[in-house]
Amino acid sequence: MAIEVAVKAAIGAPNVIGDCPFSQRVLLTLEEKKVPYKLHLINLSDKPIWFLEVSPEGKVPVVKFDDKWVPDSDVIVGILEEKYPEPSLVTPPEFSSVGSKINGAFVKMLKSKDPNDGSELALLEELKALDEHLKAHGPYVAGEKVTAVDLSLAPKLYNLDIALGHFKKWIFPVNLNSLSKYKELLFARESFMKTKAAPEHVISGWEPKVNAAAVPVISDSEPKVNAATEPVVSDSEPKANSVAEHVVSDCEPKAIEVAVKAAVGALDVIGDCPFAQRVLLTLEEKKVPYKWHLIDLSDKPCWFLEVSPEGKVPVAKIDDRWVPDSDVIVGILEEKYPEPFLATPPEFSSVGSKINGAFVKFLKSKDPSDGSEQALLEELKALNEHLKAHGPYVAGEKVTAVDLSLAPKLYHLDVALGHFKKWIFPENLTSLSKYKELLFARESFVKTKAAPEHVISGWEAKVNDA
């Protein structure tokens, strides 16, 4: 049976593969291991509901393993190596970080408006370091055979060549002979030829992010609305034109660091990302000390792109390693800090899981008779019936992880639909209304929620056609 893989479709050409280097990394791994797979091309400006159900954060790539959809290219590649050990693509630990700063340096130069800011020199230094490494250890990073680090670098170097060549008229240095040969080897591999985006699609993918004046503030962390008219911005790669420094709250020493979305138009307060709030809720409920970094997702700082190359929030620093994806982060927190126990019993773990997709569909709907409101009501009624039988929380008397996932989404639903649709929550859903009251009154929720005006401003650019 073929593995299912959801990747970015090209902008303006939804039937061909798009320019996401993280998606290509996964496809390269599948190709090199000769694992059969089925491709789902996702229009990231108009994400289908089925995709939001399997990837609630709306991110690519995601891969279906054993009936479970798994996000994040790092995690996916690790699972593929474990499940399909031949040929081994494991990079020796001493070489695993080779070239890791190139992507951040590339993005900084691409977004730079000042030719004297040193960004080109910084990129050249990183490229020279990789060239020297290849001269000593090549032709590939770890020697004679391709490994995972090469499959990660290849799409980024390809994006670098095309984007800098097009937008900066930049020519790759001819004196970096070992690196030039390395690129030739990578780009000529059958796996690369089969999975690369066409140059014009790489350019179209970067264009709205390079032309900063034309790009409104759009979050990477929640589904987009009005996809047909809004600028197309990928969830899967960093945005250009980012110079802001990060904002850090005062917290205890050795606190876990968490990068979350800053509010649109108010960069010193927490923004409207429900997935980031889910992580903060978990930390608060477990009384784990943390400090947050507020990230302007329209203007991402370079330090953030270095620790989160895909430019996504939330990411959390746990044991000196930055970890992406709220599902993964919450799982690690449960393992490291088992008290209080927040794991949801398996039979209740998917309760309410379709509400967010139905909410997004209704919010972006322009046709009051398309059934999207009724579909949302059906999902809300199902949750209400469950709570009537099992409440007050999803799994009974105590709050669990599924409640901390649902709480921010229900809050967004209330605020966004109330503002943009003048929609009133049904009075007859009494168990669900009580559930929301309980969740929204918890100290953890009050401390971590975005103000209603910031939820509205976060959605506004995606709801209004202009």
Residues assigned a catalytic role: 20
Contact 17, 10 (CB under 8 A): yes
Backbone angles phi, psi at 317, to 5 degrees: -90, 110
Q: What is the rounded distance in angstroms from the CA atom of residue 15 to the CA atom of residue 378? A: 33
Sign of CA dihedral 220, 222, 228, 229: negative
Contact of 310 with 299, CB cutoff 8 Å: no
Cβ atoms of 276 and 330 closer than 8 Å: no
Q: What angle do CA 44, 109, 211 make, to 5 degrees?
A: 50
The DSSP H or E segment spanning 293 is strand 290-295
Burial class (CB in 10 A: 0-12, 13-18, 19+), 415: buried
Burial 129-157 (b: 16+ CB within 10 A, else e): ebbebbeebbbbbbeeebbbbbbbbbbbb
DSSP characters over 398-441: S--HHHHHHHHHHHHHHHHHHHHS-----TT-HHHHHHHHHHHH
Distance CA 409, CA 206 (A): 30
Three-state DSSP state, 179: helix
* 134 membership: H or E segment, kind and range: helix 119-137
Structure tokens at 292: 């947050």
- Number of H helices and E strands in the chain, helices first, is 18, 11
Bridge partners (DSSP) listed for residue 40 = 6
Backbone angles phi, psi at 269, to 5 degrees: -130, 160
Could you say which DSSP state residue 211 is in? S
Q: What does DSSP say about strands 256-263 and 266-270: parallel, antiparallel, or unpaired?
A: antiparallel
CA–CA separation, 398 vs 111, rounded Å?
48
As a whole number of angstroms, the distance between CA 382 and CA 392 comes to: 14
